[in-house]
Amino acid sequence: MRKLGFIGAGNMAEALARGLVENKVFKASELIASDVDAARRRKFKGALKIEVTTDNLKVLNSSRAVLFAVKPQTIDAVLGELARGGGDGNGAPRAGGLSSKLFVSIAAGVTLGRLEGALGGRARVIRVMPNAPAMVGQGMAALVRGRNASRADEAFALRIFRAVGDAVALKNESLLDAVTALSGSGPAYVYLFAKSLADAGVAQGLPAELALRMALKTIRGAEENMRRSPMAAAELIRIVASPGGTTEAALKQLAADGFSDIVARAIHAAAERSRELGRVV
């Protein structure tokens, strides 16, 4: 019996599996993955030495926990397949079937209620919102356990996602919409900011390659300094922004253009879209 099975072997599943093996959380022999894409199966088998299959029911039946790493638009078909294959033939979980498993889902917008309902009501389910930096071991994930999942199940899920960065447990599922808007979509905002910095540097005469290099190093250095410093963000800003200096001039322009309001409106728009997606069945 393997400790964890992946249904879906895409980029996020690969990052999680790699992190688990490289950080010695699980052995490759304790994992299994299914995917319809032969190239993704080859990658798991060749690079990660993890057993692969096209059979989702094999993953279900040979794993103590199952992680859904499929697109939201395909998860209903997967859930239906597992419910039929893991039940007693009358729609109820059979002994050793669905009710004996832990299910972890990273399908965006798919609620705990929807997952639990499709898996028989008594299923132990945890919903997770990870983000793309998990693919380089710098992820940030938030998770919420369903009504049947235990604290031990929660601890198990936290171990998985902390293998590729950091992870926190939340009490309220509705907070995952804000998590999605901030950290789930957040990397794209940083990419845009970095591009804007570099483009502005080019407009001031810097070579494009140098401008991007400087923008990325500046962002990384500022993040490291902010994370290590005991000072609040406002104090760090004050230290850099000398009165009458260049930074102060730039900050005044950002304030005049409503920079903070723009960010707030962007996060609000992403959170609202997350709520809308959660209402679509």
| Residue 9 token pair | 């072997």
Model confidence at 279, pLDDT cuts 50, 70, 90, reads: confident
93 pLDDT higher than 70: no
Supply the pLDDT for residue 123: 92
The domain locations on the chain are: 4-171, 186-278
Q: How far is residue 273's CA from residue 181's CA, in Å, rounded to a whole number? A: 9
pLDDT tens for residues 147-181? 999 999 999 999 999 999 999 999 999 999 999 99
In this structure, CATH architecture of domain 4-171: 3-Layer(aba) Sandwich (3.40)
What is the rounded distance in angstroms from the CA atom of residue 158 to the CA atom of residue 82?
A: 24
Q: What is the pLDDT of residue 104?
A: 98
Reference 104, options 43, 36, 160; nearest CA is 160
Q: Which residues 6+ apart lie within 8 Å of 241 measured at CB?
A: 247, 248, 251
Q: Could you report the per-residue pLDDT of 96-150, keeping only the tens digit for each? A: 468 889 999 999 889 999 999 999 878 999 999 999 999 999 999 999 999 999 9
Condensed to tens digits (0 to 9), the pLDDT of residues 206-244 reads 999 999 999 999 999 999 999 999 999 999 999 999 999
Q: Look at residue 89 and tell me whether its pLDDT is greater than 80.
A: no
For the domain covering 186-278, report its CATH number: 1.10.3730.10
Kindly tell me if the per-residue pLDDT of 92 is higher than 60.
no
Q: What pTM was computed for the model?
A: 0.89
What pLDDT was estimated at residue 31?
97
Chain mean pLDDT for the chain:
93
Using DSSP, state whether 27 is helix, strand or coil: coil
Strands (DSSP E) found in 78-206: 102-105, 124-129, 139-145, 165-169
Confidence of residue 85 (pLDDT cuts 50, 70, 90): confident
Residue 91 has pLDDT above 60, yes or no: no
pLDDT of 94 above 60: no
Cβ pair 166, 139 in contact under 8 A: yes
Which pair of structure tokens corresponds to residue 253?
């322009």
pLDDT, position 86:
72
pLDDT at 120: 85
